Chains A and B, each alone.
Chain A
Amino acid sequence: MFGDFRVRVDPWEVDYGDQTPLGPLDDEPKEQVDHEVETKDADWEPITPTGDPSLPPRVVFIDGVRRLEARVTARRGDRLIHGGFGSYGVGAVHLENSSAVFGELRTSRVAVLGAGEQLPGPVRVRPNLAYEAESTPNTELDGPLRHIQKSMRQAEATLARDTFRDDTLTIVDGPLSFEPARKGLALGYIKRIHQLYLPGKFVTLLAGLPAGSRSPIFSIQTAGAGFARFSWFQRLADPGPGETELHGIVRLEVAAGGGLEKARTLADSAAAWLPRTAPKRARDPRSPQNLLPIGALEQKLRAALGDPRLFRRWIQVLVTKEALRG
């Protein structure tokens, strides 16, 4: 089953169900920022759009969840390789005609080995359930998880491209990793701020940004990634007294190829419209950033992936059987 690898399961529980997007897991290369794209530095102040948001008739949210079900080590001779069994799922929610419905869901299960190694074939833990063998060059302990995270991001991008239509605004979770090929619009939605992108002098402005308002647009040019993006901060809900001043602030980005004017219209619409899809604190501990369609989608994806304890047990049983066989 495992070829010449001696695969063993790490009896320590993996931190399953942890969906907090770990910033460091998404590799963020060096970027160049220009914050005078829309407004001169001296004139920077919150922009509160008035009037009805103008959005395409169809808005699609794309999101994914991933998890590690079991950590393993694979030894061949004197080489010890970190590996892991994990699953990820991506899906879409369509908002049109005043109704929100679930779109396509895609799930995958992978058995990843680090250090460029790979198991000889799919690992079948149940008659109808197999983990695809994959490989990552990373040799670290969290290499397999990074690989799964990356695969999930790619699956999100693929799904986003597949659901793309002219009349559609696609909102993906996390930074935009692709440039929309056709006329449709795509927004990257970053719910946790790891990197400010702006000089310290703008912190006061961000801290005082009222709900429903946005910052002026700035541009981000990734050194390697190829395409430039326009980005802005906006606030979904005001923080309560004593809460961190960045609570409720999200960053959005759109491909710069569409032009500044289009980006500004979109930014105004998003600033006014997104707060309406934000959940109350009682509904979601990650309120307000974990928007209602995204929260519901994640819940559904997790249900689609099944109970991780069950999968972990199946993996353990299989590995144990193999180990006993010698």
Chain B
Amino acid sequence: MAETTGPHIGAVGVVLGSEDAGPLEFWVGVAEGARLELDDLVVAEVTLGDGQIVSFFGIVDIVRKRYEGGQFDSDAFRAAEGTLPVEVSYAAHIQVTRVDPEIFVPPHPGNAVRIVRGDDFQRALFIDRMEKKVAIGHTRSGETVFANLEFLDGTRGAHVSISGVSGVATKTSYATFLLYSLFHSRALGPDATNARALIFNVKGEDLLWLDKPNSHTNPTLIEEYRALGLEAGPFTSVGFFAPPRRHVEVVMPEVGSRHEGVSAYMWTLREFARDHLLKFAFADAHDTRSQISFLIHRIERELERAAKQGDPEDPGLDLHGTRLESFDDLVDLLDSETLDHLVKNAAGGTLDAFRRRLHAAAQHMGHLVRGDREAARHKIHWQANQVTVVDIHTLHDIAQMFVVGVLLKGMMHEKEKQGTSRPLVFVVLDELNKYAPRSGWSPIQDVLLDIAERGRSLGVCLFGAQQTASEVERRIVANAAMKVVGRLDAAEAERGEYGFLTRVARQRATMLSPGSMIITQPEIPTPVLLKFPFPTWATRQSEVRDDGAPVDPFARS
């Protein structure tokens, strides 16, 4: 039996000679009593004529059993009743992942094949070549799988695209697990101190408990994290922001279950004017060539001009001689003839269309922009904590778009000003298909494309999630270095966007269970199915572990 480094299990079979054996794929006959299953990683070592040993590492992507020499379906019945002697052939197809050294001769039929573990496993997936790596999950047999950090931090690539049907709770869970692994391992090294994450909470309140330990954490789970090189626990530095309640003078965050530690966020009218935010209130997809875009542009210019006058600390604004203290004031002003003065020569129909949409937007996002003193104190300080969760799940689509657009644009603007790729920023955004749809154009799509294309050099890494990658702007998906797939709808799995999946992986993607993902990354030539552990941070109030107040040793009973 061949011996190499690392712990391993003995030979499970031999290279078959009844099927073509090649350097890129071959079949293994599984020995009696041995077991080889899908996703197992194996190696066949071949000694060449000159004594050199070539290792063919590969992953099992097909396993099958059949009667050897059996020719008829009815043979199974005859064999079962004991009149036909048969022999069962158990074989596995190996997709080669690495040939080391790179001598592409075929393996020899009859060569022993064994399952790899430990160091050999890491060799099989090129993990031994990664200088900076981060744990991204483990195989079903418990081997840790790593990603090359250089493809996440912008050195050689960036961005993660996560696809999968909703309801299986895998996309966001996996994105948060990745963040946890990045922030709670030594992967980032010196970059860890200043690296930041910006997470948008799109559905439910499951991301509003990241800083609380999960009551389901048990020794098995802790061990699972430990095996991945992680300490089980909640995120240690998290800031939570929620939109303000409507129709209330006092600013209070609009939250369901969590009340403490959540701040409300809003923008001042002056910021709105100064930073050209009006277009994000009109963020639903539209045509760039339409007159409205032009109109919005003109008004933004006027607003910017107004913002430059007066006290820069004043949250309110004077526009065209009118004092504006709230978003409604602005709407009222634009409703009047002032609009006609601001944008001369605009067609009446265009103005009407603009007003109609402005009213619709104001109804949903008006409360996020205010001109009073209070508003100035409710900014989102996304750099204050390692992780910042911005809740938008209670907001209407239009307001969601506004918040995402404004925040991302602001973030990119700041990164641009810094002009360096450090500190790193990770952005987690679900429902990417809504913000950057394949068809149409929107100002948010512009920002997201900017992140996808320039984020690498600015140190911004987008963890984009979507039900269907086929509905997301092509360039955003294409720019993701790491592609992750949870359970897919059967029709979706056949689309070209999943061309990185093998035929077998496509089939399996339609039946993945929660906690399992198929991952493709640049250096590993085959998609790998892996599992990630259950979160050790709470995802709902009922999971929050009640540690009680710290016990005071001096307290008298």
Contact B83 A276 (CB under 8 A): yes
Q: How far is the CA of A102 from the CA of B84 in the complex (A)?
A: 10
Q: Mark A244-262, 1 if CB is under 8 A from B, else 0.
A: 0000000000000000000
Beyond A299-B69, A300-B69, whether A293 also contacts B74 by CB under 8 A is no
Beyond A100-B79, A292-B78, whether A283 also contacts B85 by CB under 8 A is no
Contact A292 B82 (CB under 8 A): no
Chain B residue at smallest Cβ distance from A278 = B83
Contact A296 B84 (CB under 8 A): yes
Chain A neighbourhood of B79, CB < 8 A: 100
Q: How far is the CA of A6 from the CA of B78 in the complex (A)?
A: 52
**Does B72 make an interface contact (CB < 8 A)?**
yes
Contact B83 A293 (CB under 8 A): yes
**Does A101 make an interface contact (CB < 8 A)?**
yes
Kindly identify which residue among A95, A282, A299 contacts B82, using a CB–CB cutoff of 8 Å.
A95
Beyond A98-B81, A100-B79, whether A296 also contacts B86 by CB under 8 A is yes
Within 8 A of A (CB), among B33-87: 69, 71-72, 74-75, 78-79, 81-87
Contact B69 A292 (CB under 8 A): no
Chain B neighbourhood of A299, CB < 8 A: 69
Q: How far is the CA of A99 from the CA of B80 in the complex (A)?
A: 7
Q: How far is the CA of A293 from the CA of B84 in the complex (A)?
A: 5
**Does A93 make an interface contact (CB < 8 A)?**
yes
**Does A297 make an interface contact (CB < 8 A)?**
yes
Contact B85 A297 (CB under 8 A): yes
Chain B neighbourhood of A292, CB < 8 A: 78, 83-84
Q: How far is the CA of A99 from the CA of B86 in the complex (A)?
A: 10
Chain B neighbourhood of A279, CB < 8 A: 78
Kindly identify which residue among A98, A102, A282 contacts B85, using a CB–CB cutoff of 8 Å.
A102
Interface size counted on chain A using CB atoms at 8 A? 21
Chain B residue at smallest Cβ distance from A61 = B85
**Does A310 make an interface contact (CB < 8 A)?**
no
Min CB distance A17 to B, Å, is 16
Chain A neighbourhood of B85, CB < 8 A: 93, 100-102, 293, 296-297, 300
Q: How far is the CA of A318 from the CA of B522 in the complex (A)?
A: 54
Min CB distance B121 to A, Å, is 37
Chain B neighbourhood of A97, CB < 8 A: 82
Interface size counted on chain B using CB atoms at 8 A? 14
Beyond A282-B72, A296-B69, whether A99 also contacts B78 by CB under 8 A is no
Q: Mark A95-127, 1 if CB is under 8 A from B, else 0.
A: 101111110000000000000000000000000
Contact A283 B74 (CB under 8 A): yes
The total number of A-B Cβ pairs within 8 Å is: 41
Chain B neighbourhood of A100, CB < 8 A: 79, 82-86
Min CB distance A97 to B, Å, is 8
Contact A303 B74 (CB under 8 A): no
Q: How far is the CA of A51 from the CA of B74 in the complex (A)?
A: 27
Q: How far is the CA of A297 from the CA of B86 in the complex (A)?
A: 9
Min CB distance A243 to B, Å, is 22
B69, B78, B79, B83, most chain A CB atoms within 10 A: B83
Chain A neighbourhood of B82, CB < 8 A: 95, 97-100
**Does A158 make an interface contact (CB < 8 A)?**
no
Q: How far is the CA of A50 from the CA of B82 in the complex (A)?
A: 22
**Does A39 make an interface contact (CB < 8 A)?**
no
Min CB distance B77 to A, Å, is 11
Q: How far is the CA of A279 from the CA of B70 in the complex (A)?
A: 13
Beyond A299-B69, A303-B69, whether A280 also contacts B83 by CB under 8 A is no
Q: Mark A267-278, 1 if CB is under 8 A from B, else 0.
A: 000000000110
Q: How far is the CA of A297 from the CA of B87 in the complex (A)?
A: 11
Chain A neighbourhood of B81, CB < 8 A: 98
Q: How far is the CA of A158 from the CA of B85 in the complex (A)?
A: 22
Contact A283 B69 (CB under 8 A): no
Q: How far is the CA of A283 from the CA of B72 in the complex (A)?
A: 7
Q: Mark A74-111, 1 if CB is under 8 A from B, else 0.
A: 00000000000000000001010111111000000000
Q: How far is the CA of A179 from the CA of B97 in the complex (A)?
A: 62
Chain A neighbourhood of B75, CB < 8 A: 283
Chain B residue at smallest Cβ distance from A93 = B85
Within 8 A of B (CB), among A287-314: 292-293, 296-297, 299-300, 303
Min CB distance B74 to A, Å, is 7
Q: How far is the CA of A91 from the CA of B170 in the complex (A)?
A: 57
Chain B neighbourhood of A98, CB < 8 A: 81-82
Q: How far is the CA of A140 from the CA of B69 in the complex (A)?
A: 37
Min CB distance B244 to A, Å, is 76
Chain A residue at smallest Cβ distance from B67 = A296
Q: How far is the CA of A98 from the CA of B82 in the complex (A)?
A: 5
Q: How far is the CA of A300 from the CA of B67 in the complex (A)?
A: 12
Min CB distance B21 to A, Å, is 19
Within 8 A of B (CB), among A201-217: none
A101, A296, A297, A300, most chain B CB atoms within 10 A: A296
Min CB distance B57 to A, Å, is 32
Chain A neighbourhood of B86, CB < 8 A: 100, 296
Min CB distance B37 to A, Å, is 26
Contact A283 B71 (CB under 8 A): yes
Min CB distance B68 to A, Å, is 9
Contact A95 B74 (CB under 8 A): no
Chain B neighbourhood of A293, CB < 8 A: 83-85
Min CB distance A55 to B, Å, is 12
Q: How far is the CA of A95 from the CA of B75 in the complex (A)?
A: 16
B82, B83, B85, B86, most chain A CB atoms within 10 A: B85
Chain B neighbourhood of A95, CB < 8 A: 82-83
Min CB distance B81 to A, Å, is 7
Chain A residue at smallest Cβ distance from B82 = A98
Chain A neighbourhood of B69, CB < 8 A: 296, 299-300, 303
Chain A neighbourhood of B74, CB < 8 A: 280, 283
Q: How far is the CA of A95 from the CA of B87 in the complex (A)?
A: 14
Min CB distance A285 to B, Å, is 12
Q: How far is the CA of A282 from the CA of B78 in the complex (A)?
A: 14
Q: Mark A201-235, 1 if CB is under 8 A from B, else 0.
A: 00000000000000000000000000000000000
Chain B residue at smallest Cβ distance from A299 = B69
Contact B87 A102 (CB under 8 A): yes
Chain B residue at smallest Cβ distance from A291 = B83
Min CB distance A297 to B, Å, is 7
Q: How far is the CA of A101 from the CA of B75 in the complex (A)?
A: 14
Q: How far is the CA of A292 from the CA of B71 in the complex (A)?
A: 12
Q: How far is the CA of A95 from the CA of B78 in the complex (A)?
A: 12
Q: How far is the CA of A292 from the CA of B72 in the complex (A)?
A: 12
Q: How far is the CA of A183 from the CA of B143 in the complex (A)?
A: 60
Q: How far is the CA of A300 from the CA of B87 in the complex (A)?
A: 10
Chain A neighbourhood of B87, CB < 8 A: 102, 300
Min CB distance B83 to A, Å, is 4
Chain B neighbourhood of A280, CB < 8 A: 74
Q: How far is the CA of A283 from the CA of B73 in the complex (A)?
A: 10
Chain B neighbourhood of A93, CB < 8 A: 85
Q: How far is the CA of A303 from the CA of B87 in the complex (A)?
A: 13
A95, A97, A297, most chain B CB atoms within 10 A: A95
B72, B78, B81, most chain A CB atoms within 10 A: B78
Min CB distance A270 to B, Å, is 14
Q: How far is the CA of A293 from the CA of B85 in the complex (A)?
A: 6
Top 7 nearest A-B pairs (CB, nearest first) are A100-B85, A98-B82, A292-B84, A277-B83, A93-B85, A99-B82, A292-B83
Q: Can you list 29 residue pairs at the A/B interface with Cβ under 8 Å?
A: A93-B85, A95-B82, A95-B83, A97-B82, A99-B82, A100-B82, A100-B84, A100-B85, A101-B85, A102-B85, A276-B83, A277-B83, A279-B78, A280-B74, A282-B72, A283-B71, A283-B74, A283-B75, A292-B78, A292-B83, A293-B83, A293-B84, A293-B85, A296-B69, A296-B85, A296-B86, A299-B69, A300-B87, A303-B69
Given contact pairs A93-B85, A97-B82, A279-B78, a sample of 9 additional A-B residue pairs in the complex whose CB atoms are under 8 Å apart: A95-B83, A98-B82, A99-B82, A100-B82, A102-B85, A276-B83, A283-B74, A300-B87, A303-B69
